[in-house]
Amino acid sequence: MDFSFTREQSEIKTAAREFARGEFTPELADECERNHRFPRELFRKAAELGFVGLNLPETVGGSGLGVFENALVIEEFCKADSGLGMALHLAYLPAKMVKLFGTDAQHQRFLRPLAEGRWVSAVAFTEPDHGSDLTSMNTTLVDDGDGVVLNGTKVFTTNATYADFVVVLAQDDPGARPGRGMTAVLVETDPSSWLGGRLEINELGHKMGLHMTSSGELVFHDLRVPKANILGEKGRGLDVVLGFLDESRIEIAAQSVGNCEGALLKALDYSRRRQQFGRAIIEFQSIGHKVARMWSQVHSAKLMTYYAAWRKDHETAVTAEVTPLFTSMVKHYAPETAKAVIDDAINVFGGYGYFLEQDVERRYRDNRIAEIYEGTVEVQLNNMARLLKKVNLEFVDQTLL
């Protein structure tokens, strides 16, 4: 076993760290946070340097690398700043669905402008009555000649107000059994791409964190888009979603790894400098132990996430069966661990930790969503328990443990 990065991975991680150090200034973060603004110019710069297209095919200007390399970049971005890091990643994460299930024509149409930083992507599964339960949708998709017509409402769509395209999950067969009869379809937000009807986009109210992204409601009013925009097989939309989540959940875990690494760095620095009772507070055993425990927690989440990413990139037909055991593992563990680490970092800062300037309270607020989106902690544990109930014990013994 070799724990070292390849030379390329090491260079990617260093480049991401240097980019973030230079560009993720406290002033920019503060301005975007206060104005609830997506840093589109920063997204463009990140794309120009190849970070956005790292995991996309070379045919669309990407680098064709894996989930592992993506995770390294996300970690560095979120380590530097939770808000900016998460906003940038969430702008290109949904495009992964096009990479995994799109045709060559869809790759060119949707992924190329994204890899160049000109387009932002979004994904709309969640509806008012369908959150954790994605086995059927109220949003309908009806065949209409060379188009399909969408009606319904989606909520909580990240990037809603500035995304250039949205992957929408809709019900094409209302009589189908749970999990069937749904189709994923690509919807461009530019009205000139529509064949009829309209799409209404409303920003939702104030949220706890993630202020540098929009969270919106999408209302489809007989919106007609080209049939060629169907993503994957018609009627197999849930397969598109699940295939996406197997990769994306690892990258969400990488957000949390970066979020808590940044908090640890700040707490460590502060605990060495802050003097009380004539000594640095890290000299008090309670603070020293706290920082030491944070160190262990950060590494447990980090190594687990690297392992899940590595497994995904080395997946075979046999190991694919148990992939959710590892993606769900890190999707619940890393966000929960990061929450505990960042909470402790706030304590290390004392009263100052409660104020915006230290940037640890924002990390807490930003990180909190990682426990919820792309499936809640409870949903991840359900996924794991479902597999653990039936997976062959000999296989577990010989191959997984």
For ligand FAD, what does the binding mask look like between residues 137 and 166, x meaning CB under 6 A?
-------------------xxx--------
Contact (CB, 8 A) for 119 and 111: no
Interface with ligand FAD (CB under 6 A), residue from 376, 387, 395, 396: 376
From 48, 217, 374, 378, active-site residue? 374
Q: Where are the alpha helices (DSSP H) in 237-321?
A: 237-273, 285-313, 317-320
By CB under 6 A, tell whether 384 contacts ligand FAD. no
- 184: part of which helix (H) or strand (E)? strand 182-188
By CB under 6 A, tell whether 126 contacts ligand FAD. yes
Which token pair is 216?
Answer: 């919106």
By CB under 6 A, tell whether 373 contacts ligand FAD. yes
Residue closer to ligand FAD by CB (options 28, 122) is 122
Q: Is 359 exposed, middle or buried (0-12, 13-18, 19+ CB in 10 A)?
A: buried
Cα 13 versus chain centre, distance = 18
For ligand FAD, what does the binding mask look like between residues 94 and 123, x meaning CB under 6 A?
-----------------------------x
Provide, rounded to whole angstroms, the least separation between the CB of residue 362 and ligand FAD.
14
Contact (CB, 8 A) for 130 and 156: no
Q: Which residues pair with 200 in a beta bridge?
A: 219
SS3 49: coil
Q: For the segment 210-239, give every residue that binds ligand FAD (CB under 6 A).
A: 210, 215
Cα–Cα distances (Å) from 294 to 185, 297, 324, in that order, read 43, 5, 27
Any idea what DSSP says for residue 6?
P
By CB under 6 A, tell whether 255 contacts ligand FAD. no
Residue closer to ligand FAD by CB (options 266, 362) is 362
Nearest residue to the partner ligand FAD, using Cβ: 131
Interface with ligand FAD (CB under 6 A), residue from 95, 124, 185, 334: 124
By CB under 6 A, tell whether 136 contacts ligand FAD. no
- Binding segment for ligand FAD (CB under 6 A), chosen from 231-239, 314-322, 323-331, 365-373, is 365-373
- Binding segment for ligand FAD (CB under 6 A), chosen from 124-132, 143-151, 176-184, 251-259, is 124-132
Active site residue 261: no
By CB under 6 A, tell whether 189 contacts ligand FAD. no
Q: Which residue has the tokens 């460590």?
A: 268
Task: Please report, as a single letter, which amino acid is at residue 324.
Answer: P
Task: Please report, as a single letter, which amino acid is at residue 257.
Answer: V
Q: What are phi and psi of 204, to 5 degrees?
A: -85, 165
Any idea what DSSP says for residue 236?
B
Residues interacting with ligand FAD, by CB under 6 A? 123-126, 131-132, 156-158, 207, 210, 215, 369, 372-373, 375-376, 378-379, 382
Catalytic residues: 374
